[in-house]
């Protein structure tokens, strides 16, 4: 599987370790990751490019997104160009996982209604599970994905368990269902 990773180049000075953790988690699973344009670039380098060089890079970026199976985005530090890349990927029907480690989710994206767009807050402890869930979704390894409504009381409980156990809500729910299945055998 080929994964396109993107994030704010300016935010790299604050969140580089998070970027590397995401890329390394993907590579450790054997996935091909397109990330050098973020990891090996800088604001200074970009500012020094000519208009022709920027246009060529943009064409290459579009080819990378088109050739990828999915996109994973670290959005803790906001970036308009990253938003453009997300929009491009969704327009091409690519599944997109938006990750953020602090603060609120990106306001325009967290409430966007698209089944291929997932938005998750992560920590070092939860990152691998979140990525694994997303990759399973992309590879269609999961049997089904569905949305259901819950009461505010259930939502509050899920949020509390997620925070205390440092795990995504989806992982918690899946474990409950798997335990129920095992108890019936």
Inter-residue contact 129 to 168 (CB < 8 Å)? yes
| Both structure tokens of 47 | 């500012």
The Cα diameter of the chain in Å comes to: 65
Its pTM stands at 0.73
> Could you give the CA distance from residue 138 to residue 29 in angstroms, rounded to a whole number?
14
**pLDDT for 99:** 95
How high is the mean pLDDT of the chain? Answer: 87
C-alpha closest to that of 86 among 56, 106, 59, 57? 106
Where do the domains of the chain lie? Answer: 2-143, 148-185
Tell me the CATH class for 2-143. alpha beta
How would residue 42 be classed by pLDDT, with cut points 50, 70 and 90?
A: confident
Burial class from Cβ neighbours inside 10 Å (0-12, 13-18, 19+) for residue 77 reads: buried
Q: Tell me: pLDDT of 137 over 50.
A: yes
Helix/strand/coil for 7? strand
């Amino acid at each position: 599987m080929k994964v396109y990773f993107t994030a704010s180049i300016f935010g790299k000075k604050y969140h580089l370790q998070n970027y590397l953790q995401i890329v390394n988690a993907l590579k450790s699973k054997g996935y091909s990751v397109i990330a050098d344009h973020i990891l090996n670039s800088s604001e200074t380098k970009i500012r020094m490019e000519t208009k022709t060089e920027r246009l060529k890079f943009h064409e290459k970026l579009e080819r990378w997104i088109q050739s990828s199976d999915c996109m994973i985005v670290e959005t803790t530090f906001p970036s308009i160009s990253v938003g453009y890349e997300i929009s491009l990927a969704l327009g091409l029907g690519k599944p997109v996982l938006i990750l953020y480690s602090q603060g609120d989710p990106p306001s325009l994206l967290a409430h966007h209604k698209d089944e291929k767009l997932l938005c998750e807050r992560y920590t070092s402890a939860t990152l691998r599970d979140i990525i694994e869930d997303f990759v399973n979704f992309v590879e269609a390894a999961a049997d089904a994905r569905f949305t259901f409504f819950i009461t505010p009381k259930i939502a509050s409980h899920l949020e509390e368990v997620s925070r205390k156990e440092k795990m995504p809500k989806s992982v918690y729910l899946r474990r409950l269902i798997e335990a129920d299945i095992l108890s019936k055998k």
